[in-house]
Amino acid sequence: MNKSKWFALVFGILLLSGGYATYARTQNHFERSRLIVTNPVQHISNIAPQGALHVPFTKVNLTARGTDIIVNKITVVRTGPADDGAFEDIVLLNSEGEVLGDGSLDGEHTVHFSEPIYIPRNTTIRLTVAANMAEDLAEFEGQISALVITDIQASGFLPVNLKP
């Protein structure tokens, strides 16, 4: 059984058993009940100069449909043939470029943003995962990496898992 059929079966059982979670994935659209995650866009082959601040890697829209939502945690993973040392830190920005959270990559190439993000009902916010680059990138020349959102957790909802 492939992964898509497995997810459909599991979430179908949740719905039939009185659970309120729904899951749909069609072309970059993930939906979990009243939290909708759309357009997780990964920038390809960004130029990231030494010491650069807020180099964008991934953008995503979060919509609170019908109710206010508080996002409690967003998990980001560094992927690709690169070293974590190229990144001073990883930041989460709102659409105005304000920093909502920052952190360093851990031993599993992961950063968890756990500052609560409030989304008023029937509102969409745009978030950007960006990086502050190390001051010296000489030892990282030619490396290509990505910062991918793999998990979003909101109060009252099952996690939205964005792993392919």
Is 103 domain-assigned? yes
The structure tokens listed for 76 are 């980001």
Is 128 domain-assigned? yes
Do residues 61 and 126 lie in contact, with contact meaning Cβ atoms separated by under 8 Å? Answer: yes
Is 153 domain-assigned? yes
Is 20 domain-assigned? no
Cα 23 to Cα 76, 91, 151: the distances in Å are: 20, 28, 14
- Looking up tokens 């899951």 gives 23
| Mean pLDDT, the chain, integer | 77
pLDDT digits (tens, 9 = 90+) for 113-152: 999 999 999 999 999 999 999 999 999 988 888 899 998 9
pLDDT digits (tens, 9 = 90+) for 13-44: 333 322 233 333 333 444 445 788 886 676 66
Of the CA atoms within 13 Å of residue 3, those in its CB half-sphere come to 6
Query: What CATH number is associated with residue 133?
Result: 2.60.40
β-strand 123-133 against 87-93: which pairing, if any?
Answer: antiparallel
Instruction: Give the range of the structural domain holding residue 81, as residue numbers without chain letter.
Output: 34-161
Is 51 domain-assigned? yes
Is 14 domain-assigned? no
pLDDT (0 to 100) of residue 141 = 87
Total tally of structural domains belonging to the chain: 1
What's the pTM?
A: 0.74
12: phi then psi, degrees, rounded to nearest 5: -65, -40
